[in-house]
Chain A
Amino acid sequence: MNEAILTTHNLCKRFGAVPACSHLSLTLTPGELHALIGPNGAGKTTVLNLLSGFITPDSGSIFLAGRDISAIPVHGRAALGLARSFQLISLFDRLSVEENLAIAVQARSGTSFRFLGDAAADRRLREPARRVMARMGLKGCGRVITGSLSHGQRRQLEVAMALAIKPRVLLLDEPMAGLGAGGSQRLQELISTLKGRLSILLIEHDMTAVFSLADRITVLVRGEAIAAGTPDEIRRNPEVQRVYLGEEAAAC
């Protein structure tokens, strides 16, 4: 196996009496798509918030390409190549799609303490932004105000934003939430085109998507990783079936 790009070591976080994450040791290898699944309230989003720096762990540490990033703030981690999407779509709603992506591109193009050039005319920002647009199925939407996009397009843009900062590691928090079958299918295809080029940690409730996309899966229940392995291993794991997959199957 390749050397890990992102690892957590004994990561712990409690909210009051509730353990949202306990002694989690995850490993993400380069080019891997690693899915994090678990029932609601299992602490999946907490893990993502810990990794991206929005919350600080009670104990444990996080390494990005061998470097301890536990004490680095959100923007610093992003600058090191750790990008994330949000479960609740978080965009610049009053700006156009191209402006959204151009701002993201700008975040990785050197210092932004540049005061005089016209950013809207800057080809070094516009062209990469358009490339990401084309790649994420948003071609032709450049001038559309983000707030008026359809939900599906907003989901696509949410992933595109993370992609536009050219990350090494992509953290996706339920990118398909609220999508219909068609939209879900489209986004699944888009994500599969990213596979292998960067390392992706995916949180998703859509099990069809998870099992077809993931190289490995970790199952989280009450903040604890109860199982980890390939999709086949996870599908056959009796404990996983009992606490999670079975529950959902029974509910259906």
Chain B
Amino acid sequence: MALLFLLPPVATRLGGDYLVSLAGRILIYGLAAAGLDLIVGYGGMVSLGHAAFVGIGAYAVGIFSYAAAESTTVLSWPLTIPGTENALFTLPLAMGLAALFGLVTGIICLRTRGMYFIMITLAFAQMLFYFFVSLEIFGGSDGIVLINRNRLPGIDQESDTTLYYVCLVILLLFLFLGGRVVRSRFGRVIIAGRENEIRAQALGFAIHRYRLVCYVIAAATAGLSGGLLANHTGYVSPDLMHWSRSGEILVMVLLGGMGTLVGPVIGAAALLLMEEFLAMFTEHWMVILGPVLLAVVLFGNQGLYGLWKGITEKDERGDTDDT
């Protein structure tokens, strides 16, 4: 963890701001992936539409920031809503809107299971994708360029290093709270639903309601991640919601280890680093990614996190044997 805090100064010496920016992107996608893990890993429901929530968060930030920079309003009727670049407003808004979309679609999606759940989450995300593609006032398929980053009081928002620390604090906070949630009574109900839904119902849990809340939490987390991403890249487009993005976030969860919360962050790091560095050698980097993913899913019990845990725990056991 200390490494994560020391990363920016070291990275700046090594490779300039580019590495800090990449690390920031890893944290942001890690946040979305850790949130998705609540549904996929703990809830046992594979969603292929998570990028929609990231996109909503990003657009919430993008639209308000653009309006603020252009001194126009976001909405002029029935009430006037001016734009703003205050992150204390835009980021909660990003979460809230994503949560709302999660609530409405979740009520419908959670009636289905398995393959149908995958398909219906995918369908909602694609609907949103095409909706934003065709929305000319928000740039259509070109999206919106953020002129300034959102402001946080007392912070130099234009520095990548600052943004990195903001993302790091948010991610660690989420991992801490999320870790509590999955161990709580609520978390137990979610896990019980994954393990044996019939039994959970027979015990008296209205499993549907718990899952919906879990889905909304994951959606809000993705919304926050989207809001940060918009600030990070300074650019928002419907591409963020494309189903292949949802697939990427899902791959992060699988690669890192589902049902571990920390794993998906490792997965995000692994995927984005591979993407960056393999792309230097070949544009067909997915040829390498594919087999790696297969190997991890087939041989790793809980993805990369599980492999790492397996190695460290074996060492510990070895130590006790010697003494």
Contacts and interface: CB of A to CB of B under 8 A. Distances in A.
Interface of A: 52, 54, 73-76, 78-79, 83-84, 86, 90-95, 99, 102-104, 106-108, 112-120, 122, 125, 161, 165
B231 to A, nearest CB: 28
Q: Which of A83, A93, A103, A104 has the most CB of B within 10 A?
A: A103
Given A120-B183, A165-B204, A112 B189 contact: yes
B202 interface: yes
A74 B181 contact: no
A78 B202 contact: yes
B205 A75 contact: yes
A165 B200 CA distance: 11
Contacts of B207: 75
- Size bracket of the B interface: 20 to 34
Contacts of A75: 201-207
Given A75-B206, A113-B213, A116-B180, A106 B185 contact: yes
6 contacts: A75-B205, A103-B200, A115-B187, A116-B177, A117-B184, A117-B185
B196 interface: yes
A165 to B, nearest CB: 6
Contact of A112 (B183, B188, B195): B188
Interface in B99-114: none
A91 B202 CA distance: 11
A134 to B, nearest CB: 20
Given A92-B192, A94-B195, A112-B210, A84 B186 contact: no
A95 B192 CA distance: 9
Contacts of B201: 73-75, 78
B198 interface: yes
B202 A74 contact: yes
Given A93-B195, A112-B189, A113-B213, A104 B203 contact: yes
Contacts of B213: 113
